[in-house]
Amino acid sequence: MRFLFYTHSLVSDWNHGNAHFLRGLMRALQAKGHDALALEPADGWSRANLAAEGGMPPSERFAQAFPGLRWQDYGPEFDHEAACADADVVVVHEWTDPALVARIGRLRRAGGRFLLYFHDTHHRAVSREPEIAGLHLDGYDGVLAFGDTLKERYLAAGWGRQVETFHEAADVALFRPMPDVEPEHELVWIGNWGDGERSAELRSFLIQPARRLGLDATVRGVRYPDEALASLREAGIRYGGWIANHEVPRAFARHRFTVHVPRRPYVEALPGIPTIRVFEALACGIPLICAPWEDREGLFRPGRDYLVARGEDEMTGHMRALRHDPDLRRVLAASGLETILARHTCDHRADQLLGLVARHGNQPVAEAAE
């Protein structure tokens, strides 16, 4: 089958986590004998910001890291009708311009022979509800929501004809243990500071514990304001700026443990949905400590796959334990990796998507809703 993915960017992962999962999903579909192409806007903010970082142009950097993945950008004159007509399955990500979301839906309702899904991997359905509520999804065969609580939002609002929980997952072709790399440092955190959605949490669960213990710690990511950078310096934490996602496994391997600090909208409004970094860290076999989030869907085994810290003191205690106890690090790493390989790889998600397509079949959208 031919899969067409509308995404904000496949090429750039600058502050754009969906690129991580989509790359792995496309790779898994290709390995099963299917064709996959990603379309992204030529003026996308993520690619523009990555270009501003300097060095190799984003498209060349991407081609070197992911030579088997196909993408094409589009502008105002792009023929979306022809692109969709050539596809068996079209998946439109929620970062896509609302006018284009509606346009592709109209193509399906007008008799398009492709199956059409809307893919949501963000918290805007709750943090910017009017923006998402204004989307026209009446032409879509279904919605792929990256967690049960988000799925419930779509069902309650009447959005989409069918809603499927479609979790993110680890691209284990890339995210895997690297036993040949010797850890040189203690703590690493890879994530973006963002829009104040977890500033207090990062201070309580990352910066202050690292300062109290005098850890050899590293932070990588973008959008750090001056006051955040000052806090890192005062705590003795190295700040390395942006890191390409395909370089993250080696960064994990060079450190003894990492942490997960979820953004507040996920904890408060969409509980039970981890970020993709949880999947990726566990897939790399690095011990993980999580700031509070509720694993409502039983994705993992809290306390076995990762440690949970309910406050700054408990986070400090867990960091101290992982710093000094290699057996604890080894047991946690093995357990987390076991869960990923059993349930949460991009190959698992490709099978889920293919199963959904098989259930829908190639039928008119009006019939698919019944």
Under the banding of pLDDT at 50, 70 and 90, the label for residue 368 is very low
Domain ranges in the chain are 2-169+346-368, 185-343
Q: Place domain 2-169+346-368 in its CATH homologous superfamily.
A: Glycogen Phosphorylase B; (3.40.50.2000)
pLDDT at residue 363 tops 90: no
- State which CATH number among 3.40.50.150, 3.40.50.720, 3.90.228.20, 3.40.50.2000 fits the domain covering 185-343: 3.40.50.2000
What is d(CA 60, CA 50) in angstroms, rounded to the nearest whole number? 12
Under the banding of pLDDT at 50, 70 and 90, the label for residue 361 is confident
Can you tell me whether residue 293 is helix, strand or coil? Answer: coil
171-203 in b/e form (b: 16+ CB < 10 A) is bbebbbbeeeeeeeebbbbbbbbbeebbbebbb
pLDDT at residue 369, as a whole number:
38
pLDDT at residue 336 tops 70: yes
pLDDT at residue 147 tops 50: yes
Average pLDDT over residues 249-268: 91
pLDDT at residue 138, as a whole number:
84
pLDDT at residue 35 tops 80: yes
Can you tell me whether residue 196 is helix, strand or coil? Answer: coil
Strand partners, 255: 185
pLDDT at residue 126, as a whole number:
63
Pull the structure tokens for residue 60: 């060349």
Q: Which of 264 and 343 is assigned the larger pLDDT?
A: 343
Angstrom distances, CA of residue 355 to CA of 6, 212, 285, 331, 351: 20, 50, 29, 34, 6
The phi, psi pair for 190, rounded to 5°, reads -120, 110
Average pLDDT over residues 195-224: 94
Average pLDDT over residues 73-102: 96
pLDDT at residue 370, as a whole number:
36
Under the banding of pLDDT at 50, 70 and 90, the label for residue 125 is low
Mean pLDDT of the chain: 92
Task: Report pTM.
Answer: 0.94
Residue among 99, 113, 167 nearest 340 (CA): 167
pLDDT at residue 352, as a whole number:
98
DSSP string for residues in 225-287: -HHHHHHHHHTT-EE-----GGGHHHHHHTEEEEEE---HHHHHTSTT---HHHHHHHHTT--
Can you tell me whether residue 104 is helix, strand or coil? Answer: helix
Q: Which of 124 and 278 is assigned the larger pLDDT?
A: 278
pLDDT at residue 160, as a whole number:
60
> What percentage of the chain carries pLDDT values higher than 90?
84
Residue pointed to by tokens 């003795």 = 236
